[in-house]
Amino acid sequence: MNLNQVTLPTTDLDRSVAFYRSMGFTLIVHSPPRYARFECPDGDATFSLHRVDHPTGNSGVVVYFECADLDARVDGLVVAGFEFTKRPTDERWLWREARLVDPSGNVICLFSAGENRKRPPWRVVT
């Protein structure tokens, strides 16, 4: 089994499409006014946006995008006008993370974890 995609709610499809394209994602499906789908710049993952009529509120969901060049990528996005709620920070779980919020309030985490992404020191041994 492999994760195919994650779908995020959006109250403004056009604004959200512009946001993610500006972040460097490739728009591969555009079906306004309700749906858009993107490819990530690296790897094989995709994600989509689906327009909703009312904001969904804070669901507690965070979407993580791994970046080998986290600090440089965040610096470039800041120069391009993106506002981060948290700049790159070394976390106790051995990841370096930065966070921002998309136009519909979805929390996005850009991170770098290296070998600790799937093999942290506390990984369950089977």
Strand partners, 96: 90, 112
Give the mean pLDDT per block of 10 residues along the chain (126 residues): 91 97 97 97 93 83 95 98 98 97 95 94 91
Structural domain boundaries enclosing 98: 5-117
Is 74 within a domain? yes
C-beta of residue 47 within 8 angstroms of C-beta of residue 6 = yes
CA dist 11 and 49 (Å) reads: 10
* Model pLDDT, residue 112: 97
Q: Is the pTM of this model over 0.85?
A: yes
Has residue 126 been placed in a domain?
Answer: no
* 124: in domain: no
How many folded domains does the chain comprise? 1
Planar angle of CA 110, 114, 118, nearest 5 degrees: 95
- As a whole number of angstroms, the distance between CA 44 and CA 24 comes to 15
Residue 79 placed within a domain: yes
CATH number at residue 36: 3.10.180.10
Token pair in block for residue 75:
């610096």
Identify whether the C-beta of residue 17 lies closer than 8 Å to the C-beta of residue 49. yes
